[in-house]
Amino acid sequence: MREVAVVGVGMTKFGRSEFKSQLELFGEATMDAINESQLKPKDIQALFVGNANGDINEGITVLASHAAAEVGLNHVPAIKLEGACSSGTVAIVNAFMWIAAGYADIVLAAGCERNTVTPTPDATRLMNSGNHHRYEAGTGITFPGLFAMMAHMYAHKYNIPLPQLKEYMCMVSMKNHKNGAKNPKAQFQKEITREQYMSSAMIATPLQMFDCCPISDGAAAMVLTTTEIAKKLTDKPVKIVGVGQASSGGLSTQKDYSRPIAREISVQKAYKMAGLTPKDIDVVELHDCFTIAEIVATEGLGFFDFGKGAYALEKGETQMTGRIPVNPSGGLKSKGHPVGATGVAQGYEIVNQIRGICGARQVDGAKIGLTDTLGGPFASVANIIYQRGW
């Protein structure tokens, strides 16, 4: 396969977009990425767009084709990819494969979503459509309910009293809000205290409001090309050296919610392709849709032994200055979660961390970074490893 590099990234501010459609958000992030790459829209040979709910939220089908036209990518193959929350990462994986296989030389991967346009009851129903329509949807399970079950299962399995686990989940929330306060593109740019966390509304026991990521609008984009072309375009090269993707069935087919097996399979594919191990990773952006999800992900990705991720928080190992900094962007919890854009936004952060241009939230010496995006009821997982180039 040919080596693949990132030459341009772009991202809108995440939050509530009252006046810009998801296509306009896509255009903003995409043009920033193309301009940064020193290319023109006419140079792009294909487009992959991650988007989960654009057809329902704004009534846009054939979204990728409309997105291509939005920025002057006339007549290129334009493909929408949907993997719930992992949609954006799946878009990057497919762009990577087209270039690595020699089918195209310069490809744009992007993600966009405008979720806040939908009223809360409809948004809840829409998000719940990720569950199996026959065996799970009728039970009334919601995603907060699912991750609440994960927390109870984790506490029981590893003999951690629930009040103690709550303290660890609080540490996740406080850490990510602290990081997000340093990110000008984050939805929430404010730290929280333990008292604020503990007094917040109960959502699904034991998850409270500050355990849950928000509904968000936003877009992110990335221009990929061969390393040969990249050498002519950038002096801050970042290569994609490993990708992985895996899937699972619905909740009724999975035995242990504290160990999403699709993640373990996916990330091992990425490590194997890159020839790396978890010890080689300097920084990670992972899927903290709920605070318990971050704890579980740090174990599934291989950073800590199973059942030890919670204790690693107490030791500060996931802080900015810790052994493996987790979510320096603020993560989904603070940065926001516009579903289709999330995976590309994670890549945006890791690329800029490796470039060393993240300012107050810069991880010292970051050369290799990992992204982890989980979609639906652990049904779709994709991972990408980025590394400083030549």
Pull the structure tokens for residue 334: 């603070």
Residue 136 pLDDT class (50, 70, 90 cuts)? confident
Pull the structure tokens for residue 341: 């854009």
Q: Which tens digits make up the pLDDT trace of 330-369?
A: 999 999 999 999 999 999 999 999 999 999 999 999 999 9
Whether the CB-CB separation of 224 and 27 falls below 8 Å is answered with no
Query: What pLDDT score does 137 carry?
Result: 77
Query: Which CATH code fits 4-119+214-388?
Result: 3.40.47.10
Query: What pLDDT score does 123 carry?
Result: 80
SS3 at position 374: strand
Whether the CB-CB separation of 13 and 184 falls below 8 Å is answered with yes
Q: Which tens digits make up the pLDDT trace of 321-337?
A: 999 999 999 999 999 99
Query: What pLDDT score does 120 carry?
Result: 82
Q: Is the peptide bond before 206 cis (omega within 30 degrees of 0)?
A: yes
The mean pLDDT of 379-389, rounded to a whole number, is 97
When the pLDDT of each residue in the chain is averaged and rounded to a whole number, the result is 96
Asked if residue 74 has pLDDT above 90, the reply is no
Asked if residue 119 has pLDDT above 90, the reply is no
- Greater pLDDT, 291 or 124: 291
- Greater pLDDT, 195 or 236: 195
* Residue 133 appears among annotated catalytic residues: no
Query: From CA 279, how far away is CA 257, in angstroms rounded?
Result: 25
Catalytic annotation, pick one of 85, 170, 212, 289: 85
Residue 5 pLDDT class (50, 70, 90 cuts)? very high
Whether the CB-CB separation of 101 and 390 falls below 8 Å is answered with no
Q: Which tens digits make up the pLDDT trace of 287-309?
A: 999 999 999 999 999 999 999 99
* Predicted structure pTM score: 0.97
Catalytic annotation, pick one of 132, 177, 287, 337: 337
Residue closest to 130 by CA, chosen among 145, 111, 117: 145
Query: What pLDDT score does 140 carry?
Result: 83
Residue 42 pLDDT class (50, 70, 90 cuts)? very high
Q: Which tens digits make up the pLDDT trace of 7-19?
A: 999 999 999 999 9
Residue 121 pLDDT class (50, 70, 90 cuts)? confident
Percent with pLDDT over 70 in the chain: 100
* Residue 85 appears among annotated catalytic residues: yes
